[in-house]
C-alpha cells in the first residue's frame, strides 16, 4: 500500500508539472504551443496520411520527413478516429507517460522502499517526463517500449520460453519503429544471445525482427524516390563527415549530454564491482547482461546519434540508465557493500542530473514555446491569412504545413527529396551550395512559386527574388534563426507582400518585430 501511495503522489506531481507549464504557455499564447516545430511536422504528416492517404509533409507528394515512422502513423490513426486536433500528441504522450510509470512501478516493487521512491521519482524528474510529454514528440513512447525491451530480455534470460522470446521480438520491432536508435541496444542484446548464450539461431532471428521496420519503411521510401533512411537521418546524422568532423561532433555530443554522462559513472562503477570477483570473462559479462547492453548502446548513441535540442534525444538514455543501476542502488541503500560512501556519491550524481535537466528546463521550456509561438505560429497565421493554398518556399516547415494546405519547397530538405539529395554532403551545415541555389532558382521560376519565407543564413535566395520584409523574435533559444525573411518570387508582387506584412504586423505579439524593406 505504501508503494501505491508513492505512485499516486508521483502521478500528482507529474500532473501538476504539466498543468503548470500549460498555464505558463497559455498566458502568453492563449493556448498551448509545443516547444518544438518538429511536433507540428508529425501532426502535419499524420493529418495528411489520415485525410488524403499521402505520407508527406504536404498532401501533394510523398516525403520521408519523419524520423519516427511509427509515431507518425499512430498520430494518423488517432486523427482518423478522433479528428484533426492539435493536442492529440499531448494526450497520447500523457497516457504513455502514465504507462511508463506503471511499468517502472512494477519493476521497482522488488526493491527497498528507498530505492523504489528515489528511482520512480527520478523517472519524472531526471528524464524529465513532463517535458518529454509536452514536446508532442515520440520520446515517451520510445522510452516506454525500450524499457519493455529490457524487461523482456531480462525475463528471457531467466526463462527461455517461446513466450518471452515473442515478447522480446515484438517490443524490439515496436521500439525500432519509434526510433532507429533502438537498434544500438538491440544489436548488443542479439550479440549477447549469440555469443554468450550461444543461442545462434535466436540471436539472428531477433536481429532480423528488430530491423524489419527499417527495411519496410526503407523499401517504401525508395519506391517513392526517396532515401532508404528518413531524410532527417541523412541530413543530420554523424557519419560521412571525415574523422575530424566525426570527432568534433562526438565531443559536441559529450558536452551536450553531460547531464547523462554523470549517470554513466554509476553504471561503470556497478559493472566493475559486479565483475571483479568473477574469474572468467564469460562470467563477468553474464553478471552484467543488462548493464552491459545499456553501456554499449549508450556509447554507440554517443558516437552516431544526437544529444541536446531541448534535451530530448538523450531522455530515453536517462531512463535506461536508471533501469540498469536500480539493482546496484538497492544493494548500496541496504548497506550490502562495505564502502558506504558509494551511496552518497550516487545520490550526489543523481542530484547533478536533476539540476542540469529538471531545474534548467523549468526555465527554458516556456522560452522554447514562446519562440515557436512568436515565429512558427506567426508564420503559419500569416500564410493562413494570405497564402493558405499557395506555393511556398520555406526551411522551417512544421507549423506552416500543419495549419495550411500549401505546396512546399523545403530548402533544408526534410520535406523535399530533391533538396535533400543536393544537401546530403553538407553534413547538417549551411554551405554556399551552388547546386541548391540553382535548384531553388529553377523550381521557383518553372513552377510559379509565389513567396519565400526563409532564414537567409540557411540558403541564399535567387537574385530575382524581391525581399519585402523580415520578422524578428527576441530571446531566441529554440528557433532555427532569430530573423525570418519574406521574399516575393515575382518582383511585381513585392508591393502586395509589403502591404500584407504591414497589415499583419498589427496582429503579432508586441515583442515580435516586423520590418518592411523600403
239 falls in which pLDDT band (50, 70, 90)?
low
pLDDT digits (tens, 9 = 90+) for 36-64: 999 999 999 999 999 999 999 999 999 99
Percent of the chain having pLDDT more than 90?
90
Q: Are residues 277 and 416 in the same domain?
A: no
The C-alpha cell at 458 is 540557411
Q: Are residues 397 and 319 in the same domain?
A: no
According to the 3-state scheme, what is the secondary structure of 435-498?
Answer: HHHHHHHHHHHHCCCCEEEECCCCCCCCCCCEEEEEEECCCCCCCCCCEEEEEECCHHHHHHHH
296 falls in which pLDDT band (50, 70, 90)?
very high
337 falls in which pLDDT band (50, 70, 90)?
confident
Last residue of a domain, one of 366, 386, 408: 366
pLDDT given at position 277: 78
Last residue of a domain, one of 366, 383, 411: 366
Q: Are residues 63 and 174 in the same domain?
A: yes
pLDDT digits (tens, 9 = 90+) for 116-134: 999 999 999 999 999 999 9
In the three-class reduction of DSSP (H, G, I as helix; E, B as strand; rest coil), residue 155 is classed as helix
pLDDT given at position 236: 78
- Measured distance CA(227)–CA(220) in Å, rounded: 10
pLDDT digits (tens, 9 = 90+) for 372-382: 999 999 999 99
Task: Tell me which DSSP letter residue 58 carries.
Answer: B
Q: Are residues 352 and 371 in the same domain?
A: no
Domain carrying residue 247: 2-366
Phi-psi region of 152 (alpha: psi -120 to 50; beta: other; left: phi over 0): alpha
- Measured distance CA(432)–CA(165) in Å, rounded: 51
Q: Are residues 222 and 347 in the same domain?
A: yes
Q: Are residues 352 and 381 in the same domain?
A: no
Phi, then psi, of 393 in degrees rounded to 5 = -100, 130
- Measured distance CA(34)–CA(235) in Å, rounded: 23
In the three-class reduction of DSSP (H, G, I as helix; E, B as strand; rest coil), residue 513 is classed as strand
247 falls in which pLDDT band (50, 70, 90)?
confident
Q: Are residues 167 and 292 in the same domain?
A: yes
pLDDT given at position 281: 87
434 CB-contact burial (10 Å; exposed 0-12 / middle 13-18 / buried 19+): exposed
Name every residue whose Cβ is closer than 8 Å to that of residue 153 and which is 6 or more positions away in sequence: 168, 189, 289, 290, 293
Name every residue whose Cβ is closer than 8 Å to that of residue 121 and which is 6 or more positions away in sequence: 10, 13
Give the mean model confidence (pLDDT) for residues 404-427: 93
pLDDT given at position 427: 67
- Compute CA distances 472 → 324, 388, 421, 451, whole Å: 45, 22, 30, 18
In the three-class reduction of DSSP (H, G, I as helix; E, B as strand; rest coil), residue 426 is classed as coil
CA 247 to the chain's CA centroid:
22
- Measured distance CA(428)–CA(250) in Å, rounded: 14
450: closest CA among 380, 388, 397, 505? 388
Q: Are residues 92 and 135 in the same domain?
A: yes
Residue 241 has pLDDT above 70, yes or no: no
Name every residue whose Cβ is closer than 8 Å to that of residue 247 and which is 6 or more positions away in sequence: none
In the three-class reduction of DSSP (H, G, I as helix; E, B as strand; rest coil), residue 95 is classed as helix
Q: How many domains does the chain have?
A: 2
Phi, then psi, of 489 in degrees rounded to 5 = -65, -40
Task: Tell me which DSSP letter residue 409 carries.
Answer: E
pLDDT digits (tens, 9 = 90+) for 314-328: 999 999 999 999 999
Q: Are residues 55 and 89 in the same domain?
A: yes
The C-alpha cell at 382 is 500569416
Give the mean model confidence (pLDDT) for residues 201-223: 98
- Measured distance CA(418)–CA(429) in Å, rounded: 17
212 CB-contact burial (10 Å; exposed 0-12 / middle 13-18 / buried 19+): middle
Cross-strand pairs, 471: 484, 514
- Measured distance CA(277)–CA(290) in Å, rounded: 18
Report which secondary-structure segment, H or E, holds 11: helix 2-29
Q: Are residues 353 and 380 in the same domain?
A: no
1 falls in which pLDDT band (50, 70, 90)?
low
Q: Are residues 418 and 356 in the same domain?
A: no
Q: Are residues 371 and 511 in the same domain?
A: yes
Last residue of a domain, one of 366, 387, 414: 366
Give the mean model confidence (pLDDT) for residues 132-145: 98
- Measured distance CA(375)–CA(179) in Å, rounded: 28
Amino acid at each position: 500500500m505504501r508503494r501505491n501511495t508513492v505512485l499516486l503522489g508521483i502521478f500528482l506531481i507529474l500532473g501538476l508539472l504539466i498543468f503548470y507549464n500549460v498555464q505558463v504557455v497559455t498566458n502568453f499564447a492563449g493556448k498551448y504551443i509545443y516547444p518544438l516545430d518538429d511536433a507540428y511536422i508529425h501532426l502535419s504528416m499524420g493529418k495528411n496520411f489520415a485525410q488524403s492517404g499521402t505520407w508527406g509533409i504536404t498532401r501533394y507528394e510523398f516525403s520521408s520527413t519523419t524520423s519516427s515512422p511509427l509515431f507518425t502513423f499512430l498520430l494518423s490513426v488517432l486523427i482518423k478516429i478522433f479528428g484533426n486536433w492539435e493536442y492529440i500528441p499531448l494526450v497520447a504522450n500523457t497516457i504513455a507517460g502514465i504507462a511508463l510509470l506503471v511499468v517502472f512501478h512494477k519493476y521497482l516493487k522488488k526493491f527497498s522502499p528507498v530505492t523504489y521512491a528515489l528511482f520512480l521519482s527520478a523517472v519524472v524528474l531526471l528524464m524529465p517526463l513532463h517535458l518529454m510529454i509536452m514536446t508532442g514528440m515520440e520520446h515517451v513512447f520510445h522510452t516506454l517500449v525500450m524499457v519493455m525491451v529490457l524487461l523482456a530480455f531480462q525475463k528471457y534470460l531467466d526463462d527461455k520460453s517461446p513466450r518471452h522470446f515473442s515478447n522480446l521480438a515484438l517490443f524490439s520491432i515496436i521500439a525500432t519503429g519509434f526510433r532507429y536508435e533502438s537498434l544500438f541496444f538491440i544489436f548488443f542484446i542479439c550479440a549477447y544471445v549469440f555469443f554468450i548464450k550461444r543461442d545462434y539461431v535466436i540471436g539472428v532471428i531477433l536481429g532480423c525482427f528488430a530491423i524489419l521496420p527499417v527495411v519496410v519503411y526503407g523499401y517504401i521510401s525508395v519506391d517513392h524516390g526517396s532515401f532508404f533512411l528518413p531524410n532527417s537521418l541523412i541530413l543530420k546524422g554523424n557519419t560521412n563527415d571525415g574523422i575530424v568532423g566525426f570527432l568534433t561532433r562526438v565531443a559536441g555530443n559529450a558536452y551536450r549530454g553531460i547531464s547523462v554522462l554523470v549517470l554513466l559513472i554509476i553504471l561503470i562503477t556497478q559493472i566493475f564491482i559486479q565483475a571483479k570477483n568473477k574469474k572468467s570473462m564469460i562470467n563477468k559479462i553474464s553478471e552484467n547482461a543488462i548493464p552491459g547492453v545499456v553501456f554499449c548502446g549508450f556509447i554507440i548513441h554517443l558516437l552516431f546519434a544526437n544529444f541536446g535540442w531541448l534535451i530530448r534525444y538523450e531522455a530515453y538514455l536517462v531512463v535506461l540508465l536508471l533501469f540498469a543501476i536500480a539493482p546496484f542502488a538497492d544493494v548500496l541503500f541496504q548497506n550490502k557493500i562495505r564502502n558506504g560512501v558509494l551511496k552518497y556519491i550516487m545520490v550526489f550524481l543523481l542530484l547533478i542530473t536533476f539540476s542540469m535537466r529538471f531545474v534548467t528546463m523549468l526555465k527554458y521550456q516556456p522560452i522554447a514555446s514562446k519562440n515557436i509561438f512568436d515565429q512558427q505560429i506567426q508564420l503559419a497565421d500569416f500564410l493562413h491569412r494570405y497564402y493558405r493554398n499557395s506555393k511556398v518556399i520555406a526551411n522551417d516547415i512544421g507549423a506552416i504545413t500543419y495549419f495550411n494546405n500549401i505546396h512546399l519547397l523545403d530548402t533544408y530538405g526534410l520535406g523535399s527529396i530533391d533538396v535533400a539529395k543536393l544537401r546530403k554532403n553538407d553534413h547538417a551545415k549551411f554551405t554556399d551550395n551552388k547546386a541548391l541555389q540553382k535548384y531553388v532558382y529553377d523550381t521557383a521560376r518553372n513552377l510559379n512559386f509565389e513567396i519565400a519565407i526563409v532564414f537567409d543564413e540557411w540558403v541564399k535566395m535567387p537574385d530575382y527574388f524581391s525581399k519585402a520584409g523580415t520578422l524578428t523574435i527576441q530571446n531566441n533559444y529554440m528557433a532555427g534563426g532569430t530573423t525570418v525573411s519574406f521574399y516575393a518570387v515575382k518582383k511585381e508582387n513585392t508591393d502586395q507582400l509589403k502591404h500584407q506584412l504591414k497589415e499583419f504586423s498589427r496582429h503579432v505579439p508586441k515583442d515580435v518585430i516586423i520590418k518592411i524593406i523600403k
